Amino acid sequence: MTAPLYDAVLQLAQDMGAAGLPAGAMTAILSRTVAARPGEDAARAMLAGCLWAEGARDAAIAQMGEVAQRRAEPEARHALAQMLLACGAQAEGEAVLAWLGARMPANANLHAARAGVLLRIVATAADPQALAAARTLGDAAIGARLVRSRHCLLDGDLEAGWAQMAWRLRDPGQPGIGARQPHGPVERPDPADWRGRTVLFHGEAGHGDMIQLLRYVPMARAAGAEVVLEVQPALVRLARSVPGVGAVVGWGEAVPAHDVALPMFHLPWAFRTVLGAIPRPIPYVAADPAEVAAWRARLSGLPGLKVGLAWAGEKRAGTVFEGMDAARSVPLAVLAPLGGVPGVSLVSLQLGEAAAQARPEGMVLHDWTGELYDFAATATLMQALDLVITVDTACVHLAGALGRPVWLLNRHDTCWRWLRERADSPWYPSLRIFRQDAPGEWGAVVEEVSKEVVLF
């Protein structure tokens, strides 16, 4: 392949991508280009991106790894690190970031990225040198501040954590902020300014995050605001049950006129939430009484303790959350001991791809999830259960917000909201936490839960 033809093929691939054509449409072209000119890295890097978009993770990492070995520029190695981390290969990704950090000592965001990776690996404290370097090398480094945010929140220093988290709005690449919030300098909102005004609080993260933050709606109303919520469609009916809420619309729907628009993760910051004063107006969401009564009648035929079970979080393939989603999920087969606990009837709360996992031998799992079309519907079933056992997904927040007894099977690299080494939660009084001793090791957790459920 001649150099002009090579350049023309690359331009064609770029134009196809810009036109929004599927990655698969480019993979064949780029594969042949790489075979014809194996020493040219631009096509190989593009091929890695296409393979990644198609879900061919190992092949994408192999292609990007070959580029990273040859090129002195940091971009290829950084892309390789992100791929490794997204696949859950934290140690390998951290090693690449460490290599980059040694050669780019003035890059605060690289140090912050490494500190964040180590924080996820050890789940106790970020690497002191990496975090100190990120802190010293520039307060304007958004990555450094976001890592510090998680570090502070895990330690229970919520005030500092919210302030650092606000810097996410200065990063146009942060997912989930949306068009409602302009990127730029951020000041702490003052609820006193909301009196007599209509304030739009818009969702920006996952379903569980938004359920957790709905507790602030009554406080905003008490401050004199007319509250309008813009949330994910699956949360609309549930959000309408929160005391003090006005209009509730789903993403993509027309939004009522409003005076102020704020992302929902600004609410803990606005109300100066600290560890000893987390608002807990439990329950702050409600389930329809008639629907709850219908579920109780249906479940009355099940013997013993009625336990809801969710074993996997949403799978966000191809995103920075992919590794975390895998780490927080438990294969249903690993939960087989729960199926053998006498006096317990298991009821599935699992939705999505993981719901199709084969039932372990001996596990009877009653499944009405086809009727759980949104979180309000799920809430009615939860109210009829005696206990919910779940991994770190929206189910734990819904059960906690309803005040239902809920047990969390928590991954080793815990989310900031569950703090460090606690078996309870200041966010949800009805929550009990069972933590992994090491990444990926669920056996001891399931064994403990199986013993404890007998005593519940």
Say yes or no to pLDDT of 221 above 90: yes
Q: Which domains does the chain have, with CATH numbers?
A: 191-277 (3.40.50.720), 289-455 (3.40.50.2000)
Q: Which three-class secondary structure string do you get for 333-395?
A: HHHHHHHCCCCEEEEECCCCHHHHCCCCCCCCEECCHHHCCCHHHHHHHHHCCCEEEEECCHH
Mean pLDDT, range 418-445, rounded to an integer: 92
Percent of the residues in the chain that have a pLDDT greater than 70, as a whole number: 75
Contact at 8 Å (CB) between 201 and 220? yes
Listed range (149-158, 179-188, 338-347) with the worst mean pLDDT: 179-188
Say yes or no to pLDDT of 94 above 50: yes
Contacts of 370 (CB under 8 A, 6+ apart): none
Question: pTM score, two decimals?
Answer: 0.76
Mean pLDDT, range 145-157, rounded to an integer: 82
Tell me, what's the pLDDT at 116? Answer: 54
Q: How many CB atoms lie within 10 A of CB 19?
A: 8
Say yes or no to pLDDT of 324 above 70: no
Listed range (132-141, 210-219, 362-371, 400-409) with the worst mean pLDDT: 132-141
Among the listed residues 439, 355, 367, 359, the one whose alpha carbon sits nearest the alpha carbon of residue 393: 355
Tell me, what's the pLDDT at 151? Answer: 79
Mean pLDDT, range 17-44, rounded to an integer: 68
pLDDT band for position 242 (50/70/90)? very high
Q: At what angle do helices 41-54 and 23-36 cross, to 10 degrees?
A: 150
Q: Could you tell me the CA-to-CA distances from 59 to 64, 66, 217, 257 in Å, in that order?
A: 9, 11, 47, 49
Contact at 8 Å (CB) between 437 and 429? no
Contacts of 103 (CB under 8 A, 6+ apart): 74
Listed range (218-227, 328-337, 423-432) with the worst mean pLDDT: 328-337
Q: Could you tell me the CA-to-CA distances from 81 to 70, 154, 285, 340 in Å, in that order?
A: 15, 24, 41, 42
Mean pLDDT, range 227-253, rounded to an integer: 95
pLDDT band for position 53 (50/70/90)? low
